[in-house]
Structure 1
């Protein structure tokens, strides 16, 4: 009887440990940041626009993803061998952030922008 209780306890403990381990990986997974697309109006769009300005594009930094932002972003993507779809995903986010925002030395850009634009790092 006691032997069976220990076996059941060991099986239950093992199953619990496996479940906790599996859930721990999910709970701490980086869910990522939403992609930035035409029509959006946000601080994330302003970061993209600032990155494009730093890259030499003459656009307003108003946080509204309109035609001028789309034209500048697709040109930026095309010139860097990225998919010129006008969507800021991790690869475009990397190019903007690590290529133009981070090196700018502007502390608010360096600290805030990677929290709202998708990157791979």
Structure 2
């Protein structure tokens, strides 16, 4: 009987370990950098705006996600075959960061921007 209890306990412990490991992966993914969306303001918006400027869009880098940022971002997304929804998720973040922010050579853009805009790496 004691052996059966230990066996059941081992099976339960194993199941719990698998569940915790699975949840840890989900929790890690959920703790990623938030998407940048219309109406927001802050450093993430500034990095998006700077990436768009580096890509040739004539917009002000003011950290306010308004109409000009939306127009430039949706055009940028459309021209690169991305979903032109005006939201910066990992695919748009990758296009901005690896295509225009990182190659700029600007240390702030290289080191800081991937901490405030989502990328897949």
TM-score computed with the length of structure 2 as normaliser: 0.88
- Per-residue CA distance 1:45-75 (angstroms, 9 max, x = gap): 0110010011111111111001111111111
Q: Could you list the runs of 4 or more consecutive aligned residues of structure 1 that deviate by over 6 angstroms after TM superposition?
A: none
Specify the structure having the higher radius of gyration (Cα).
1
List runs of 5+ in structure 1 lacking aligned partners: none
Do structure 1's residue 26 and structure 2's residue 23 form an aligned pair? Answer: yes
- Per-residue CA distance 1:10-37 (angstroms, 9 max, x = gap): 2112211221232123224322222211
**Aligned match of 1:6:** 3
Alpha-carbon distance in 2 for matches of 1:25, 1:116: 26
List runs of 5+ in structure 2 lacking aligned partners: none
TM-fit CA distance, 1:92: 0.9
- Bigger CA drift: 38-47 or 108-117? 108-117
RMSD of aligned C-alpha atoms?
Answer: 1.4
**Aligned match of 1:65:** 65
Alpha-carbon distance in 2 for matches of 1:103, 1:74: 22
Alpha-carbon distance in 2 for matches of 1:5, 1:14: 14
